[in-house]
Amino acid sequence: MVSNTSTKPARESADGERVNQERARLLYEHASLGIAFIAVVCTCVVLLVGGSQAYAPRMWAWWSTMMAICLARLTAIRRWERGDSRNGMLGIRWFAAGILLQGAAWQVMAFFLFPVFPEDQRALVLMVMCALASGGITTLASSFWLAAAYATQMTLSPAVMFMLADRSANGSAVIFLTLSYLLMILHAARVNHEAVLRSIHAQESRQTLLAQMQQAYQDLATAQVDLQNANQNLEHRIRERTSDLVKEVAERSRYAQELTRMASTDSLTGLSNRATFSNRLTACVKSASATGQAFAVLFIDLDRFKEVNDVRGHDAGDLVLREVARRLAASLPEDAELARWGGDEFVVMAPGVRDGEGAIEIANRLRASLWLPIPLAAEEVSIDGTVGIAMFPQHGRSDDDLIRAADVAMYSAKQEGRNRVRMFEQSLADDLASRHSVAQALRDAVSSGQLSLHFQPIVSTLTGRCETMEALLRWHHPDLGLIAPLDFIPMAERSGDIIGIGRWALVEACRVAAQWTSVPSPPAVAVNISAVQVLSGTLFDDVEFALRESKLPPSRLHLELTEGLFAGDHERISPAIEGLRRRGIRISIDDFGTGFSSLSYLQHLPVDTIKIDRSFINRMNRDSHAIVQAIVMVGQALSFQVIAEGVESVSQWRELQALGVTQFQGYIVSRPLPGERVAAWLLASAHANRDLASLSEKVGNDPRLDAAYAEAVVAQIEESSYCSLAKVDRSGSGDRQ
């Protein structure tokens, strides 16, 4: 590997040098004829415009200089042709020095002799130099910068001197036409240069292909010689083969045994594979059925193994699997059978285990064997396992039933938090089947009209005015009744159905909110967005469709996202969310404080509001006051609005107001309302706030009026008909989307 890496730059350098040599060859190949042509042109120019005695000596001096330059260039060409120097880039540079020196000599004539030339002679010299520039872009095509420099020398300087010598409109026209001509030939130079490079590279490819063909021919010739030698030795080898026949038969037998072993074991870990384990489990079931003895089957799934594969690569994952297999095998009784079921899953058959306690003891021993960190090349990783247990015959009388029961127990343990052992129970299978049935029904919930939205007010801490209605998803199953969002939302996220459900909820929330036009200053609507919706890449289009269909102003739409979404991949998520904010949509972080809070990324998040999770509000009088205060201070420092969720008492409201919380929601205000009742609730809320409006207009710098206004808000919270604590239904305080 090191050899390949070290030879690649050398090979690229050799390829580049061959290209430079070809470019130099193209420059030098026709240069002699070009130099002769330039010498003739210089002589003609001197004869045509050097007749005046006033500047004839200077013209012949210039002619002598040009001839000397031509002679020097011819000498350099002869040296190149003799092969004195075959460095391609050096040859290009020497050639460039000569041609640019020649161009400079033309510039000297333009600068020093144009002022004394008559207008017709200036025009003649300008045309000659432009013609030479035009010819140069072809002969110099293998070096674009050289062609461009030479063309600029030969056109720009005489045009400038022409304009300076003739300041009339003719001079301006000449410089304009010359510049246009220069741009045109520069473009032509670029086209010619690219064509030359393509030709050079094509030639290189042809030479490489030819070399490969020659090598292939040589290999073929070698192979033919080898074939002839093989034919000559064939008879001798047949005689030797006959004598080794007994050995060959023995070797084939050993090879067949090795194939059998490979077919029955896992190539990575050396353990039994799934097919072998299934056969042995079937045999154990038959034996146990005949003797009436019990035994255990354990299903092991590694925890945090996916992180090893994703972060450190599959090679590290393979190393971890081999080490895990070694540790598990060393921790089992001698009569137990260990196999790799697939991926990071292992299964154990323990014939000597007669009861659940013994199986749990083995499971804990297996988990304990994984606790020590596994060393990798640069670091260590920690792996744990979740174990499901099934007993024969209680939990199954066939190999399939036992494996399925152990798998169900393992899956249930995973759902409970991983890193644990779980014995199979029939209720686990029933629960899994129920979950599967619910998941199937969820796919048809939108089309069958089983989903609906309720809306819970978010009100101002200072005025009690409703500023936002949060849309909360409800599922009324025709047979199971009301299913809590916490039960079906994670299920929908795992299956991907949340994308369609979230799209429906977004459109429906905007449609309902657009109908609140009878309410003065109607509130915005807040919609919870799943991480799956954001990562799907269709969120922006879904929002645009909902706004377009409902005609709801973007300023009246708020989107709530969980904190963990930003912490997981905020560099990918933030640009998408920023695009929504530019549309005027406000973004909130929901359940703030329960995820992975980090000030290093929080200050860069494209959000407007943070919502304090209800769990902190419920424990404010015990141990969460400092946490709430810290969240409010962070929000104020970063210019975020702060909303408190789950506020259920006036004392909580007073404390939150004192801390600086700007808005709150909870059963102190209202339980979630069906969409058809929101408008009536908003009208009642506006009526209750009407008396406060006149008082708020009088509030100025007088502390007594400020206090009176605050007391009036408290009175409204405590006594108004639409948010009385007496009407709070505590049974639904955990409503979530």
516 assigned to some structural domain: yes
Which residue do the tokens 């929101």 mark? Answer: 678
> Does residue 516 carry a pLDDT above 90?
yes
Q: Is the pLDDT of residue 187 over 50?
A: yes
pLDDT at 10: 56
Torsion angle of C-alpha atoms 43, 44, 48, 51, degrees rounded to 10: 20
State how many domains the chain has: 3
Residue 124 pLDDT greater than 60, yes or no: yes
Q: What is the pLDDT of residue 356?
A: 87
342: β partners: 345
Is the CB of residue 354 less than 8 Å from the CB of residue 393? no
Residue 188, both tokens: 């032509």
Instruction: Assess if residue 2 is contained within a domain.
Output: no
Per-residue pLDDT at 705:
42
Same domain for 194 and 277?
A: no
Of the two residues 734 and 282, the one the predictor is more confident about is 282
State the pLDDT at residue 170. Answer: 63
Is the confidence at residue 162, as pLDDT, over 80? Answer: no
DSSP 380-424: EE--EEEEEEEEETTT-SSHHHHHHHHHHHHHHHHHTTSS-EEE-
**511 and 395 fall within a common domain:** no
The chain-wide mean pLDDT, for the chain, equals 79
- Report the SS3 class of residue 700: coil
**613 CB neighbour count, 10 Å cutoff:** 21
Residue ending a domain, choose from 184, 210, 236: 210
Residue 324, domain extent: 262-424
Domain with residue 292: its CATH number is: 3.30.70.270
User: What pLDDT band is residue 42 in, cutting at 50, 70 and 90?
Assistant: confident
pLDDT-based confidence at residue 724 (cuts at 50, 70, 90) = very low
Whether 433 has a pLDDT exceeding 70, the answer reads no
Does any domain span residue 519?
Answer: yes
Residues 395 and 302 in one domain: yes
H-helix segments, 244-377: 245-264, 274-291, 305-312, 314-330, 356-369
Provide the pLDDT for residue 84: 53
Same domain, 509 and 412: no
The rounded distance, in Å, linking the Cα atoms of 557 and 543 is 9
The answer on 528 and 569 residing in a single domain is yes
In this prediction, residue 470 has a pLDDT band, given cuts at 50, 70 and 90, of: very high
Whether 547 shows a pLDDT value over 90: the answer reads yes
The residue ranking higher by pLDDT, 612 or 138, is: 612
Note whether 460 and 378 are same-domain residues.
Answer: no
pLDDT at residue 223 above 50?
Answer: yes
Q: For the ranges 62-71, 85-94, 545-554, 698-707, which has the lowest average pLDDT? A: 698-707
454 & 596 share domain: yes
**Strands 384-392 and 380-381, how do they pair?**
unpaired
Residue 442 lies in a domain: no
Residue 577 sits in a domain whose CATH number is 3.20.20.450
- Using DSSP's 3-state secondary structure scheme, residue 210 falls into helix
Measure the CA–CA gap between 12 and 97, rounded to whole angstroms.
27
Residues 476 and 618 in one domain: yes
292-305 mean pLDDT: 91
More confident residue, 254 or 680: 680
Rounded mean pLDDT of 513-534? 89
Whether residue 584 contacts residue 619, with contact meaning beta carbons closer than 8 Å, is answered with no
- The arithmetic mean of pLDDT across residues 56-73, rounded, is 82
Q: What percent of the chain has pLDDT over 90?
A: 21
Q: Tell me the average pLDDT across 116-120.
A: 70
| Residue-level pLDDT at 729 | 36
- Is 167 buried (19+), middle (13-18) or exposed (0-12) by CB count in 10 A? exposed
Kindly state the average pLDDT of the residues 119-147: 75
Residue 545 has pLDDT above 90, yes or no: yes
Structure confidence at residue 209 (pLDDT): 79
Least confident of 133-142, 211-220, 625-634: 133-142
**pLDDT top residue among 256 and 152:** 152
pLDDT above 90 for 494 = no
Sign of CA dihedral 308, 311, 314, 319: negative
Q: Does residue 439 lie in a domain region?
A: no
618 pLDDT exceeds 70? yes
**What pLDDT shows up at residue 585?**
94
- Helix (H/G/I), strand (E/B), else coil: 205: helix
pLDDT per position as a tens digit, 327-336: 999 999 988 9
pLDDT at 723 over 70: no
User: For 493-518, what is the mean pLDDT?
Assistant: 89
Q: Considering only 63-67, 128-132, 610-614, which range has the smallest mean pLDDT?
A: 128-132
Mean pLDDT to the nearest integer, 34-56: 74
Same domain (yes/no): 417, 455: no
- Give the tens place of pLDDT for each residue, 329-383: 999 998 899 999 988 999 999 998 889 899 999 999 999 999 888 888 777 888 8
Six-digit token pair at 608? 């407007």
Please compute the mean of the pLDDT values over residues 407-428 and round it to a whole number.
81
Mean pLDDT is lowest, of 2-11, 164-173, 286-295, 672-681, for: 2-11
Average pLDDT over residues 376-403: 87
With H, G, I as helix, E, B as strand and everything else as coil, classify residue 470. Answer: strand
- Do 490 and 355 lie in a common domain? no
Q: Is residue 236 part of a domain?
A: no
Mean pLDDT along residues 533-540: 83
Q: Which tokens go with 32?
A: 């002699």
Provide the greatest CA pair distance for the chain.
Answer: 132
Contact 563, 594 (CB under 8 A): yes
Please state the rounded mean pLDDT for residues 77-93: 73
465 to each of 175, 693, 699, how far by Cα in Å?
A: 74, 10, 17
Cis ω before 703 (30° cut-off from 0): no
One-letter amino acid at 572 equals: R
Tell me, yes or no, whether 6 lies in a domain: no
Cα dist from 290 to 143, 284, 397, 660, whole Å: 91, 10, 12, 75
Q: Which of 135-139, 321-325, 473-477 has the highest mean predicted lDDT (pLDDT)?
A: 321-325
pLDDT tier for residue 569 given thresholds of 50, 70 and 90 = low
Report pLDDT digits (tens) over 576-590: 788 889 999 999 888
662/705 Cα distance (integer angstroms): 20
- The answer to whether residue 217 sits within a structural domain is no
pLDDT at residue 594, as a whole number = 65
Confidence (pLDDT) at 280: 92
More confident residue, 168 or 323: 323
Over 50: is that where the pLDDT of 407 sits? Answer: yes
Average pLDDT over residues 599-621: 80
98 with 196, same domain: the answer is yes
Do 137 and 273 lie in one domain? The reply is: no
